[in-house]
Amino acid sequence: MKQSPLPKVELRDVAPGLWIWRHEHPHWKPGQGWEPIVASTCVELRGETLLLDPLAPSEAAAEFWKRLDARPPTAVVVLKPDHVRDVDLFVRRYNARAFGPRLFFREDIPKTDLQFIEPGSHLPGGLIALYDGRGRNETPLWLPEQRTIVFADALTAPAGELRVWASPAHYERALPALRALLDLPFERVIVSHGEPVHTRAAFERALSLPTWTG
**Mean pLDDT, the chain, as a whole number?**
94
- Residue type at 194 in one-letter notation: G
158, 37 contact by CB (below 8 A): no
**Tens-place pLDDT, residues 123-147:** 999 999 999 999 999 999 999 999 9
Residue 171: the pLDDT is 96
180, 189 contact by CB (below 8 A): no
Residue 7 — pLDDT band, cuts 50, 70, 90? Answer: low
Biggest CA–CA distance in the chain, Å, is 59
SS3 content of the chain, % helix, strand, coil (to 5): 20, 30, 50
The yes-or-no verdict on residue 105 having pLDDT over 50 is: yes
Whole-structure pTM value? 0.94
Rounded percentage of the chain residues whose pLDDT exceeds 70: 97
The yes-or-no verdict on residue 6 having pLDDT over 90 is: no
The DSSP letter of residue 29 is: -
Query: Looking at domain 10-206, which CATH architecture does it have?
Result: 4-Layer Sandwich (3.60)
The yes-or-no verdict on residue 26 having pLDDT over 90 is: no
Residue 182 Ramachandran class (φ > 0 left, ψ -120 to 50 alpha, else beta): alpha
9-13, 23-27, 176-180: least confidently modelled range: 23-27
